[in-house]
Amino acid sequence: MYQFINNPTINLIIIEVARTANLTVSTPRIKQASPAALALLGYSADDLLDQPLAIIYDAKNQSAHWQAAIANLTDQTTLRFKSKLLAKSSQPIEALICLSVLASQPPKTTDIALIFQAITNTGQTTNTELNLDYSQCKATESALSESEERFRQMAEMTGEWLWEQDPAGYYIYSSVAVKQILGYDKDEVVGKHYTEFLTAQDKAEQQDYAAIHRPFYGLTNHLCHKDGHPVFTESTGLPIISKDGKLIKWRGVDHDITAKKQFQDALIESEQRTRLIIESSLSAIVMMDAAGLITDWNPQAEKMFGWPRQKAIGQPLATLIIPARFHNAHRQGLQLFLQTGMGPILNQVIEHVAVRRDGAEFPIELSVSPLKQNNTYSFSGFIHDISSRKATEATIREAQVSLAIAHNEIKIAQRIQASLSPALPIQSDALEVVGFCLPANQVGGDYFDYFFQNNDCLNMIIADVSGHSIGPALFMVEARSAIRTLASNANTPAATLATLNNFLFADLNKTDYFISLFYLQYDASKRLLRFANAGHPSPLLLSPFQSVCRRLDADGLILGINKDEVFEEKVMALAKGDLILLYTDGIIEAENPTGDFFGMERLSEVFIQQANKSPQKIISALLEQLKQFCQTETFNDDVTLMVFKCG
C-alpha cells in the first residue's frame, strides 16, 4: 500500500491492472484512493475499493478512450488528457487527468497512479502541471507534509488575519483567519485592493497608505463583513524594502477588536513576520525552550506580569509567573511531553492562575502550542488576563441566585394573590357582581373583593398595592383582613378607609409601599350606594339607555401617605340596570407596539358597546379588546376588572 495516498491535498487514485496470458489488459480496478479524491467524488473508501475504474467515468461514451490510454501506458511515459469524471451523485466533473506507472510486476500486474485536478469555470486548474512519477509523488508528499505541519500549527495558535500586499496595495497573500473576521475565503481576498473592504470614510482617508514606505501600528480600520455588518480591526503593517530602496511588498496583521476573545498568531515561515506578530499582539506571548527557560517576552507580557523583557529572558518560566504550588506539576508535565509527546494542556484553551512580579495572583486564559525545530521543542504561550471576566461571571452568578430567589418569591406571591379573590361571582334578583384579575408576567399588587356585610349590604373593594413580589402580596392579605374585620362592625366606606390608613401607615411608611383603593357599599333594599376613594382610578357608572359614562369619585389620598387622613364619602341612588365598572390602572396604561395607551376613552367606548350583556361577558369583551389592541396575551402589570349590575 502506498503511504503518500493519505496526503489530504492530492486527488490520487491507485489503479491495479492485471494482464492475461496473451498480454491483453483486464478490467482496471481501484486499489486505493486519497481522502481528497474521495471527498471530491463523494465516495467513501469502501465504496471504491476493488471497484472497476469505469465507476468514476462515463463507461458508455469514454471506455474506448480510457482503455486505449491504459493499454498504451509504459514505465517511461506519462499521459495527460481531459475527461469527465462521475461523482457518486452522477454529477460530471471536468478534469485534467494524468496517468503514470508506479510499479510493475510483469507480466502479472501494473499499479498506475491516476491524478486528477478539477477544471474551474474559467477553464483553469489550481495547478498548471501534475507530476505523476513515483519519485515525484514521494518528494511532493515530503514537501507538503512539512508545509502542512507548519501551517497547521500556525492555524491552531492564531486568530489574527495575516496578509501581504503588493506595492500598489493589492493582496497577494491572505491567511484563512480572514474568514473568521470578515466572512471571506482567502481566495476571495487575494487580488483585491485593501480599500475594497473599508467603509467609505476609511477608504477616503487611507487611500494613500500603500504608496508610503513607513510602517504603521495600531491603525483602527472600519471594515465591512461579507454579510454587511461592521467589523473593527487594529492593523499593523510593515513595508519590505529591497537593497536599492524599492518597495517590494507589504506584510501585516489585522487584529479583530470587536470579538470578545482575542486570538493570536504564532510561528510562521519568516522570523520577521513572527517578530511583528509578537510585538504587536494585544495578548501576552511567552516563549519557552525545552529546558523551561523563557526565550521571548512581548510588551504585553511586561505589562501583565510586571517583569521587563531584559530580566524575563533566560529565567525559568515556573519561578517567574507560575505560583509555587504548581511548580512541580509544571516540571512533570514538561518532562512527560519531552519523553512521550503527550501534553494534557497543549493545543487547547484552559483557565489557570498566574502570579505577577509583586506576588499577586490573578486568573488567566492560556493556550500553549509546541513547535518542533530540528531535534528540539519550543513552546509558545498566549495568555489573557481574565480578571475582569471572572469578576463579571461572579456578578452574574450572584444575580442568578437573586433572580432565582425573586422567582420563588413571585410564585409564593402569585399563590397569595390568587387566594384573596372571591372564588365565584354573586348573582341574585337584586344585583350581580363579577371580578377578574389577569396576572402580569411579574406579580403586581392588584386585589379585588366583594362580600355581604349583612343580607342587604354588599361590600365591593378594588385595590392596587405598589411594587411586586411577596411584599405587596402580604400587604394585600393585611388590608383584606382589616377591611373584612371593619365591615363586620358596620363601618362606612370613609370610616373604613380612615381606620385602614392609620392601621397600615407605619408598615407602609417603612417599606415605601402605598395602596390605592376604592370602597363601595350597596344597600340592596334601598338601592343606595355609598363609596369612598383612596387615590384609585375612578369607576365608571353607566345607566340604561345612556351613551355616556359618569365617573364615581371622592376626595382622598392613597393609603400610607399621611396619617389621620380624612376621606370623603358620597351617597347616590341607583336604578335598575345601572352598571358600574371598577378597574386598575393596568388596563388604561397598557401599550400597543407603537407606544399608544389603551386609555380611558377606549375603555369607556367598549364598556358602552357591551352594556347590554352580562357582567361576565362585559369583562371578557374588555379583555379581548385589550389583547387585540396590544397584540399580546401577557402584560407588564396586572389587569383587574370588576363589574356590578343593579337588579
Asked if residue 311 and residue 294 are part of one domain, the reply reads yes
Of 150, 173, 196, which residue constitutes the final position of a domain? 150
Which among 146-150, 267-271, 595-599 has the top mean pLDDT? Answer: 595-599
Of 276, 297, 330, which residue constitutes the final position of a domain? 276
Question: What's the rounded Cα separation, in Å, for the pair 392 and 413?
Answer: 31
pLDDT more than 70, % of the chain: 83
Torsions phi, psi of 180, nearest 5?
-70, -35
Per-residue pLDDT at 414: 61
Answer whether 615's CB lies under 8 Å from 643's CB.
yes
Taking alpha carbons only, the member of 363, 161, 365, 155 closest to residue 261 is: 365
Instruction: Return the amino acid letter for 351.
Output: E
Per-residue pLDDT at 471: 67
Answer whether residue 134 is part of any domain. Answer: yes
Work out the average pLDDT over 480-497.
86
Work out the average pLDDT over 617-629.
96
Asked if residue 256 and residue 170 are part of one domain, the reply reads yes
pLDDT value at 260 more than 60 = no
Which among 459-473, 505-519, 546-560 has the top mean pLDDT? Answer: 546-560
Taking alpha carbons only, the member of 285, 210, 288 closest to residue 255 is: 285
139 three-state secondary structure? helix
Count of structural domains within the chain: 4
392 or 108, higher pLDDT: 392
Asked if residue 616 and residue 506 are part of one domain, the reply reads yes
Range of the domain at 205: 158-276
Answer whether residue 112 is part of any domain. Answer: yes
Dihedral sign (CA 308, 314, 317, 318) = negative
Work out the average pLDDT over 299-312.
92
Answer whether residue 137 is part of any domain. Answer: yes
Average pLDDT over the chain, rounded to an integer: 83
Q: Which residue has the cell 411594587?
A: 467
Banded pLDDT at 301 (limits 50, 70, 90) = very high
445 three-state secondary structure? coil
pLDDT value at 41 more than 80 = yes
Asked if residue 357 and residue 324 are part of one domain, the reply reads yes
pTM for the model: 0.43
226 or 270, higher pLDDT: 226
Asked if residue 516 and residue 434 are part of one domain, the reply reads yes
Work out the average pLDDT over 547-567.
92
CA-to-CA dists, residue 342 to 154, 209, 288, 327, 336, angstroms: 19, 46, 17, 19, 7
pLDDT more than 90, % of the chain: 39
Per-residue pLDDT at 123: 57
Dihedral sign (CA 61, 63, 64, 65) = positive
Query: Which of 56-65, 89-98, 143-152, 331-340 has the weakest average pLDDT?
Result: 143-152
Per-residue pLDDT at 156: 42
Neighbours of 401 (CB within 10 A): 10
Asked if residue 175 and residue 142 are part of one domain, the reply reads no
What is the β-pairing status of strands 92-105 and 109-118?
Answer: antiparallel
pLDDT value at 266 more than 50 = no
138 or 200, higher pLDDT: 200
Question: What's the rounded Cα separation, in Å, for the pair 533 and 556?
Answer: 6
Within 8 A by CB and 6+ apart from 69, the residues are: 79, 81, 99
CB-based burial of residue 209 (10 Å sphere; 0-12 exposed, 13-18 middle, 19+ buried)? middle
Asked if residue 615 and residue 501 are part of one domain, the reply reads yes
Per-residue pLDDT at 220: 86
Dihedral sign (CA 481, 482, 486, 487) = negative
Answer whether residue 403 is part of any domain. Answer: no
Within 8 A by CB and 6+ apart from 144, the residues are: 7, 9, 10
Answer whether residue 397 is part of any domain. Answer: no
Report the chain's C-alpha Rg in angstroms.
Answer: 42
Asked if residue 527 and residue 461 are part of one domain, the reply reads yes
pLDDT value at 263 more than 60 = no
Domain with residue 487: its CATH number is: 3.60.40.10
Banded pLDDT at 64 (limits 50, 70, 90) = confident
Answer whether residue 401 is part of any domain. Answer: no
Per-residue pLDDT at 268: 35
Of 343, 370, 385, which residue constitutes the final position of a domain? 385
Asked if residue 264 and residue 374 are part of one domain, the reply reads no
Per-residue pLDDT at 105: 64
Tens digit of each residue's pLDDT (9 = 90 or more) over 428-478: 999 999 999 888 766 557 889 999 988 889 999 999 987 666 667 677 877
pLDDT value at 145 more than 60 = no
Query: Which residue(s) pair with 57 in the sheet?
Result: 85
Answer whether residue 234 is part of any domain. Answer: yes
Asked if residue 483 and residue 525 are part of one domain, the reply reads yes
Asked if residue 440 and residue 576 are part of one domain, the reply reads yes
Question: What's the rounded Cα separation, in Å, for the pair 458 and 430?
Answer: 11
Answer whether residue 477 is part of any domain. Answer: yes
Answer whether 320's CB lies under 8 Å from 302's CB.
no
Banded pLDDT at 490 (limits 50, 70, 90) = confident
Banded pLDDT at 207 (limits 50, 70, 90) = low
Asked if residue 165 and residue 143 are part of one domain, the reply reads no
Domain with residue 267: its CATH number is: 3.30.450.20
